[in-house]
Structure 1
């Protein structure tokens, strides 16, 4: 069945990992009604829409990505996604980490890790190469070589190094934001409110809201949810039961964890854990 035909079927998502690429996560999904909540990744995101249209926000910009579009998201850059047409969209994505991107940067003799400013790019032959490499699941050596080649080409053509993590900039906003992050990371199961964060930083609740917007492009609640899901993802690689993971990371119960996890990851905790 063609990608367009597959996309018209029920929603589905499958995550695989390639150990030869440092455990590179690769997602193949089709969505009709699913909508991603605003979130971030510690990795890069590269994807190609193979059918339909995705509507998404990357940073402060909104985009429509039709079939054939290449999606590029930098680490820690907030983004979401939903259908941009009634039938939804299907796409294939991967999430290379810093070690893999550093290897590519070294081969290209770049001075540092590559960053991107495009968000959505249209290069049909590169999009086709990405999809071909992605489809080689089960052919480990062939997929390793093909994916390395296409990622290298993406970096060579579009990596420009101009992106900067807003939270790494100097100044009082960055200092306070680091404090908020440390407080949240110290106990994800705790209940947080704006007054607690404001008192710790010696500012008003309104300033806390502004700090999160400027440093992370998210509300405090969105940031907290994002970090809880990241922590839950890490614990899912262990044998800890999902109910215990939910309690440890601040979710009301396993059902709450499942709802929020799927809104950010695009698949259930069980499906994600099976791939892990």
Structure 2
């Protein structure tokens, strides 16, 4: 199996949707999160990933459903590697007017109908099919995923920190880190800003997000880099704009998170950004 990866971005006038078509043998995704859902189908081989404290395997005939902001990694489960197609819908796009967001307790499900619908929608979108047909396939696929595998939430998504005051402190830390990706505060400045000791701040933040502040910041830089690259900015310019030391530093982290180099991602989503409106 030859390693390859292509990102496609489509826009229906309200939402932008990223799609990944990839084959990997040796690539290993670093532990990271997505701001969106990740819904994928394997078309060959088996992927292995760590998610919510458990190791999962997703092979042909299975559907993987990962929720936003949930740390996970990814690698081949066997020497032959794996190929898959993944959609990354935002919560608003997936729910499209539903009042509440369902929970997806099972990271991997075996459901031939849902697998068929997700793969058909992905293929239609990446092939540039008739917009109405592609939108219809996507709507049917998302409805099937929610109806067949979504569960009613018992309450709001829990914060891993122990109390509301801690949650507010975590939000403040995230806001301060995101305010200037190029010039982050020191650990002591972060801790002083929320009136915690550095150690206590580190423990609470990691408990809530799954990452220490410095790793969370790097992942935010990758996220910001994706937006700039999709807008056509060159990798060299992006590296400095989001706080990486240089283009090589950006490339190293970007590939660990997305599976492709910044230049390959920019070329994929720029060629072309398909409009479905």
Alignment correspondent of 1:101: 94
CA RMSD of the aligned region, Å? Answer: 2.1
Structure 2 CA distance for aligned equivalents of residues 169 and 210 of structure 1: 11
Structure 2 CA distance for aligned equivalents of residues 100 and 268 of structure 1: 27
Structure 2: runs of 5 or more not aligned: 271-277
State TM-score, norm by structure 2: 0.87
Q: Which moved more, 1:250-259 or 1:155-164?
A: 155-164
Matches within 5 A, 1:67-106: 67-103=60-96, 106=97
- CA positional deviation for 1:179: 1.5
SS of corresponding position for 2:138? helix
Contact kept? 2:9, 2:17, Cα under 8 Å: yes
1:114 to 2:106 alignment: no
Matches within 5 A, 1:127-206: 127-136=115-124, 137-140=127-130, 141-162=132-153, 164-166=157-159, 170-206=163-199
Structure 1: runs of 5 or more not aligned: 1-7
- CA positional deviation for 1:195: 2.7
Structure 2 CA distance for aligned equivalents of residues 165 and 193 of structure 1: 28
Alignment correspondent of 1:245: 238
Contact kept? 2:232, 2:266, Cα under 8 Å: no
State TM-score, norm by structure 1: 0.87
1:15-62 deviation line (CA, Å, top 9, x unaligned) = 112323833211110000111111111111100112111111223332
SS of corresponding position for 2:117? helix
Alignment correspondent of 1:4: none
Alignment correspondent of 1:63: 56
1:214 to 2:214 alignment: no
Bigger relative contact order (CA 8 A; separation at least 6)? 2
Structure 1 CA distance for aligned equivalents of residues 53 and 177 of structure 2: 24
**1:32–1:155: structure 2 CA closer, same or farther, 3 Å change rule?**
same
Contact kept? 2:177, 2:184, Cα under 8 Å: no
Structure 1 CA distance for aligned equivalents of residues 158 and 3 of structure 2: 34
1:15 to 2:7 alignment: yes
Structure 1 CA distance for aligned equivalents of residues 162 and 111 of structure 2: 33
Q: Which moved more, 1:173-182 or 1:229-238?
A: 229-238
SS of corresponding position for 1:117? coil
Count of matched residue positions in the alignment of Structure 1 and Structure 2 = 263
Structure 2 CA distance for aligned equivalents of residues 94 and 76 of structure 1: 16
